[in-house]
Chains A and B, each alone.
Chain A
Amino acid sequence: MNNAKRLDGVTARSAWACAWSIAALTVLPAVQPSSRVAAQEPPAPPSPFAMPVPPVGRLVAITNATIMTASHGTIPHGTILIRDGRIAAVGADVQVPAGAQVIDATGKYVTPGIIDAHSHTALEAVNEGTQSVTAEVRIEDALRQDPVSLYRELAGGVTSALVLHGSANTIGGQSITIKLRYGLPVDSLIFQGAPPGIKFALGENVRQTNVNIQPGQPRRYPFTRMGVEETLRDAFTRASEYRTRWQAYRADSTAWTRNRSRTRGAEPLPPARDLELDPLVEVMEGRRQVHAHSYRADEILMLINVARDFGFHVNDFTHVLEGYRVADEMVAAGSTGSTFADMWAYKMEAYYAIPHNAALMAERGVVVSVNSDSDERARRLYQEAAKAMHYGGTPEDEALRMITLNPARQLGVSDRVGSIDVGKDADIAIFTGHPFAPGSRVDMTLIDGRVFFDRTTAPTLEARMQQRQPRRPPARAASGGVE
């Protein structure tokens, strides 16, 4: 079965709210700036962002920076040394070796690259919305080459993202964790070594109560939160039986192989592969993370119970707008929370969302991240994270962790990214000022020590306006300088 083809076929049909509104899809860019379209026809113009592979031993030093490490406080005046794309040294007294490329960050703030734990960026299709269990679908197959959204998110300091299937289905497709290596071939986006995941969804989107059903069009099961639970239990019951059949086969097969006697009979036949149930078995065996779109406290508790009954746990509840009401239960279940900063009232199940949610969940011991679920919001996640300070008095370090180290922990990649520590990937954002201060913006973004966004070469409005300046005749000295 060709997943990519199937996804293409349903793009139009499923072009509706992925998580909160139809806007999520309408802002998907359809056109890319022509200079950056990855041309199939040779000779391709060299993309300004597709850099040659750096030589082995390449050294980069970011100097004179205020370094917010996210793991061990802020270094007021320090240097980060990068070797072969990884952080080789960080501190106030790091010597810059000869031959290093130096990025002078005097007066600037350096943070870990921002990690967006809920994104639909770079996707050709978001929802396989034809049925409520589509575990076989892989979002990886719908990644696009060079979508401009990636560039714009880089310009907001984002370096990694969890790209999720939409929330149309109780059990949606398999997710993919990416690094925003814009300009490189599409396969280069994949964050190698990140744990695989799958999207679950609960509540109104799954029930399709906010979808315009045409006259005569049948409603899709489930239509109530009761049906959502039943759909989950049905899927995992089938997956359990499927797993048992495979376990029995493997035992039989091993016994048959070891049995050298002439009476051992025919070789046992394996059960038929089921691409829908394979990922669910991986979930039950702890080999695939569950990212669960959720709003209300009741449905969060429901999924915690279902997961416990089938021997797995929910890695992160995403949106989780009423997480503040069941934070203790989430901690006890080993689940984390990834939420909006302050979105609310856009539908009934978001009516008791509060902007203190991130702060309050964190106070209760939940590992919390602040996510975007939007190519637009992703560009200003640093401002969103500061809202945890504004509403809930979250300490500055913890607010920064909500967009760096905490999502890294949630996605199982905190050994690689999320903080500025020796040995980690050099995924870094350089801000003109404190990332939470009103006048600050991102000037440079690095992934693996390579510059993927640089404001000085970026297509800015100022550059566009200069291009458009009408050519004026040379000023005449006698005119008195008035044009």
Chain B
Amino acid sequence: MSTLSFVTHFRQLSISAKTLGLQATLECDSLRVEVCGADRYSELEPEFASFDPRGPREFSHEMLPESRVFTGWRPAPKKSCEVSLDKKAFTAFCARHGVRTPRTYAHASEVTTNVLVKQVRPGTRGVVRGPFAPGRIPAACLQTDGVFIQEFVPGHMLQAWYWDGQLFAVEVRNRPFIVGDGVSSIRELITCNSLRSDWIDWTAAQDAVWFQGETLDTVPPSGKELAVDIRFYSALQPGGSDNVLKTVVGSPVHEQLLRAGPIFRDAIAAQIRTHTQFVLGAIIDSQQQLWFTDMVTDLRIHPDGYDLMLRGLFGIPAPSPVTAVPLEGMPAAAALT
């Protein structure tokens, strides 16, 4: 299922409305949806975007000639908070609430682990450089204003989606990689495995390959896998990610995600908090510990969130989330650290 497909959003909103006994009609000109209940109605605004592998961009409520993906129907304007805009604010928030997050370094000279160099305020198209071993951070990376150094945690990449603090979707990805064929260089393998060659971030690829002691011109032996990017969105990633929430229920990962929801919901100002979706990014390490790396508010709507959205709008109680057993004798936040 693609979360950027109009068909997917249409189907999920249609199913959610029908399940909750609501009537939904789509107006052809504007693609606004009117949802009617017994005693109230709500209008949902559509949102479109152009697309590159780092995700949707150039959002618009109108279908523009360059619109290629659909980023969902929303009942209210997008919202933001400092924790979602600023990596240092995010890190400080995590520290205050005992949420596990990769350590940061104030100066390159203090670095004792593998690290990434990130922008403090990345916007929707932030640049991440690395990973770099201690002492191998290119000076040019640090000469840019507004960057900070964060420990690189190996593992799977995770995005967790919440509506009003309630977890409803989890997407997990491996780092993008290529497989050697004994003939082609890493550069060629990246090119032919990318949907479009002009979408390839060669700096990211070079960093990833260099970290593993290779260059883009290396010809890896047949069958050898090599990570070539570190980001959730990349030209090398296949289409969409599946919602794997059901497969993580009951696991330590699920438990950590459930606890994180209410904590990060409260990062949003109380007066704009309701009817808000946010996404937490994290790395799952080999011990199934989550290392939270970022929070994004309302970037795009996930189609699996319409049930909770409509329940909130029409005052229909949400179903009880599947909860994990709290760890005995340990406060909820502490379990994340």
Indicate, yes or no, whether A interacts with B.
no
Residue ranges of B at the interface with A (Cβ–Cβ < 8 Å): none
